[in-house]
Amino acid sequence: MRYRDTGNYENLGTPAGDDMIFFSIILGIIIGVIFIIFGKRVKRYWMVIWGSGLILAALSYFVMKMLGYY
């Protein structure tokens, strides 16, 4: 059984705006800080590493956006 392809692939809609991307970066940094704080408090160091990686990823995305790569 095959599905009918009825999609309009030339008009996919608007991409994510700059405000949404900036909100995602800020949210990633906040969640990363929360992971680091709770990871140190309960001595689960994988949470500290995960939070640090999330902060680094958000900051690198911000830097790449400011340099014009995205």
Instruction: Output the tens digit of pLDDT for each of the chain's 70 residues.
Output: 566 677 777 777 777 788 888 899 999 999 999 999 999 999 999 999 999 999 999 999 999 988 988 6
What is the per-residue pLDDT for 68?
A: 85
Domain boundaries, the chain: 18-67
Residue with tokens 């800080």, as numbered in its chain: 33
Residues 6+ apart with CB under 8 A from 50: 35, 39
Q: Is the separation of the CB atoms in 51 and 39 below 8 Å?
A: yes
Q: How far is residue 21 from each of residues 42, 43, 47, 51, 56, measured CA to CA in Å?
A: 31, 32, 24, 19, 16
| Amino acid at residue number 9 | Y
